Amino acid sequence: MIKATNIHKHFNDLHAVKGVDITVNDGEVLCIIGPSGSGKSTLLRCLNMLETPDSGTIEIDGVQLTENNLREMRTKMAMVFQNFNLFSHLSVLENITVAPVNVKGVEKVQADKKAMELLKLVGLEDKANAYPRNLSGGQKQRVAIARALAMDPDILLFDEPTSALDPEMVGEVLDVMKKLAEEGMTMLVVTHEMGFAREVADDIIFMADGEIVERGTAEQIFEHPSHERTQSFLKKVL
């Protein structure tokens, strides 16, 4: 379980995240939707301290994140980025094993074996020795998901994982994410894919202007949004 309390983040005068509380329970898929600039990415990046929050606390399974345990805590919440951010000088296999081997001290043989299993899971076992530059966007993102999974994280954080993809490749990535959701992976997903959110999310959070406007099931958010801001946002995107 990951629990963030009262997260604030300013960029100079801009109050990007305004005291957000968020809890993701084990096995839960939580999607965050909201207009551009509402602070979704910033919130996600605050959770693993890629942005340092001005204030607030973050806990995983009751252990509070501090400067001292940051690296260990980060291994428990692996992140998948909009632009994949694969290591361009490493092969697909090395992309997946570099962190387990160097951060967690997993044996190379063991890490390779696990990486091959994960590549199978994302349907790319034939690309183990390819380099990122030779992959399509959809393939890159699936490798990035395998790389995140290789850490055996408690939770996966996704920041618009399909926004940089050509439309015909969105499906293959969403399919992998659905499979993970079915297997009980805990996931926090910032997304513009309303279809995915509706189908997969246990809960949906609507964010606007750095605040959580409302949280509810797909049914509640999409069919009976209780706030006017949610209604007008959904009218625009649906």
- Is residue 154 a contact partner of residue 173, using CB atoms and an 8 Å limit? no
Nearer to ligand ATP, 38 or 95 (CB): 38
Q: Does 41 interact with Mg ion (rule: CB under 5 A)?
A: yes
Nearer to ligand ATP, 16 or 80 (CB): 16
Quick note: the x/- pattern for Mg ion over 173-212, rule CB under 5 A, is: ----------------------------------------
Residue type, 11: F
User: Which listed option, Mg ion, ligand ATP, another protein, none, makes contact with residue 68 (CB within 5 to 8 Å by class)?
Assistant: none
Nearest distance from residue 22's CB to ligand ATP, in Å?
14
Q: Does 229 interact with ligand ATP (rule: CB under 6 A)?
A: no
User: Which listed option, ligand ATP, Mg ion, another protein, none, makes contact with residue 29 (CB within 5 to 8 Å by class)?
Assistant: none
- Count of residues near ligand ATP by CB under 6 A: 11
Cα(first)–Cα(last) distance of the chain, in Å?
Answer: 31
CA 18 distance to own-chain centroid: 20
Structure tokens at 28: 């839960």
Residue type, 158: F
Position among 10, 35, 56, 98 found at the interface with another protein (CB under 8 A): 98
Nearer to ligand ATP, 40 or 147 (CB): 40
Structure tokens at 231: 């209604």
- Give the residue among 83, 212, 82 at the shortest CA–CA distance from 159: 82
Stretch that binds Mg ion, among 20-28, 40-48, 70-78, 109-117 (CB under 5 A): 40-48
Residue type, 71: R
Position among 88, 105, 228, 238 found at the interface with another protein (CB under 8 A): 88
Place of tokens 């999974």: 149
What span, in angstroms and rounded, lies between the C-alpha atoms of 122 and 119?
5
Q: Does 103 interact with another protein (rule: CB under 8 A)?
A: yes
| 34-51 core/surface letters (b: 16 or more CB in 10 A; e: else) | bbeebbbbbbbbbbbbeb
- Is residue 217 a contact partner of residue 46, using CB atoms and an 8 Å limit? no
Position among 12, 13, 67, 133 found at the interface with another protein (CB under 8 A): 133
Nearest distance from residue 75's CB to ligand ATP, in Å?
24
Q: How far is CA 229 from CA 96, 117, 128, 209, 224, in A?
A: 41, 44, 46, 10, 12
Binding stretches for ligand ATP (CB under 6 A): 11, 14, 16, 34, 36-42
Binding stretches for another protein (CB under 8 A): 48, 50, 71-72, 74-75, 78-79, 81, 83, 85-89, 98-99, 102-104, 133, 144, 147-148, 151
